[in-house]
Amino acid sequence: MDGTLVDTEPYWMQCEQEMAEKYGGTWTEEDALNLVGNDLLDSGRYIREHMGIDLEPAEIVEELLDGVIEMIRLEVPWRPGARELLADLGRAGVPCALVTMSYLRFVEPMLDVLPPGTFEVVVTGDAVERGKPYPDPYLKAARLLRVDPAACLAIEDSNTGARSAESAGCTVLCVPNHVPILDAPGRLFAESLTGLTTANLPVRD
């Protein structure tokens, strides 16, 4: 979701910087980019250590979520082509799952502005024990969709997410956004979601 369908990374980065200023910590753009695609509690642990603030990882996550959700309710920053592709997949009857390491309360404002049934399944970071880069989120999504992971196309914007989908057995379409994605056997690439449809989505031979 984040970085693929919507671009809330600038929101996260702003809230992280504000947290550093609030608690007297230090934070860099490099630190912020290191968190892209990560499990939120892993990010909370990273922030505690590298920002140097005396909060528990779960407290860090909840405070950041409060700030980012407030910004999302003002404006959902959709990625170009995202809603159009989702609508086309819906018209074609392709079952879709949203697989994100964000928590459900963060996802809900975006789901609220999409047509009902856009996603048959939603797997969030607070619904799995092991988040990305482990395969668990994608394995759970495929199981709930009642499909073989090998029959799934995962669209990802980070190396962490791509590794998760690959290890679950999915074909991965990489659409880089804030961080580069390494080339690897079996990875497909697109510059944007703009112009992609059910008919022309890249598939692995």
CA 67 to chain centre: 18
CA dihedral 18, 65, 45, 141 (to 10 degrees): -150
Domain 82-189 belongs to what architecture? 3-Layer(aba) Sandwich (3.40)
Mean pLDDT of all residues belonging to the chain: 93
Q: Is the pLDDT of residue 203 over 80?
A: no
Q: Is 21 exposed, middle or buried (0-12, 13-18, 19+ CB in 10 A)?
A: exposed
Which of 42-56, 90-104, 178-192 shows the lowest mean pLDDT across its residues?
Answer: 178-192
Q: Is the pLDDT of residue 40 over 90?
A: no
pLDDT at residue 102, rounded to an integer: 86
Summarize pLDDT for 61-72 with one digit per residue, the tens: 999 999 999 999
pLDDT at residue 205, rounded to an integer: 60
Summarize pLDDT for 175-194 with one digit per residue, the tens: 998 888 999 887 999 999 99
Q: Is 109 exposed, middle or buried (0-12, 13-18, 19+ CB in 10 A)?
A: middle
pLDDT at residue 22, rounded to an integer: 97
- Omega of the bond prior to 57 within 30 degrees of 0, cis? no
Q: Is the pLDDT of residue 27 over 90?
A: yes
pTM over 0.85: no
Percent residues over pLDDT 90 in the chain: 80
The 3 state secondary structure assigned to 138-193 is: HHHHHHHHCCCHHHCEEEECCHHHHHHHHHHCCEEEECCCCCCCCCCCCEEECCCC
pLDDT at residue 197, rounded to an integer: 97
For residue 169, the number of C-alpha atoms closer than 13 Å in the C-beta half-sphere is: 11
Task: Tell me the CATH number of domain 9-74, given options 1.10.3720.10, 1.20.1740.10, 1.10.150.240, 1.20.120.420.
Answer: 1.10.150.240
Token output for 101 = 């390491």
Angle between helices 40-47 and 57-74 (to 10 degrees): 110
Q: Is-contact 124 100, C-beta < 8 A?
A: yes
Please work out, in degrees rounded to the nearest 5, the angle formed at the alpha carbon of residue 163 by the alpha carbons of 11 and 20: 30
Summarize pLDDT for 140-172 with one digit per residue, the tens: 999 999 999 999 999 999 899 999 999 999 999
Domain ranges of the chain: 9-74, 82-189
pLDDT at residue 100, rounded to an integer: 92
